[in-house]
């Protein structure tokens, strides 16, 4: 997945832990289109699932995420605790 991450096909999601959010993320996004980066506590998700992820963020955190860029240049959706 590293080659395509640098190509801009992915974005990052950084949120406080919520077991139901994680469960729905895993059930709604195939394994090959998502990756958990434990060191950064960040999900990396294929961009075609952005709308789905934003729906989950709204449902579980009732907020619009802050949009930033990661050190690697990926769009990062952040929900602050």
Tens digit of pLDDT for each residue in 23-68?
A: 999 999 999 999 999 999 999 999 999 999 999 999 999 988 999 9
Spatial separation of the C-alpha atoms in residues 45 and 49, rounded to whole Å: 7
What's the pTM value of the predicted model, to 2 decimals? 0.86
Sheet containing 10-14: which strands, arranged edge to edge? Answer: 34-37, 42-46, 10-14, 75-78, 66-69
Side-chain half-sphere CA neighbours of 39 within 13 A: 0
Domain that holds residue 42: 2-78
> Looking at the 3D structure of the chain, how many domains does it have?
1
Half-sphere exposure of residue 49: CA atoms within 13 angstroms, side-chain side = 23
Name which residue leads in pLDDT, 75 or 81: 75
Decide if pLDDT at 2 tops 90.
no
């Amino acid at each position: 997945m590293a080659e395509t991450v640098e190509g801009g096909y992915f974005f990052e999601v950084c949120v406080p832990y919520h077991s139901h959010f994680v469960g729905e993320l895993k059930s709604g996004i195939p394994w090959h289109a998502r990756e958990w980066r434990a060191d950064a506590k960040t999900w990396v998700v294929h961009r075609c699932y952005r709308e789905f992820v934003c729906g989950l963020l709204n449902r579980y955190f009732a907020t619009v995420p802050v949009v930033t860029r990661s050190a690697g240049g990926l769009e990062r959706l952040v929900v602050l605790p």
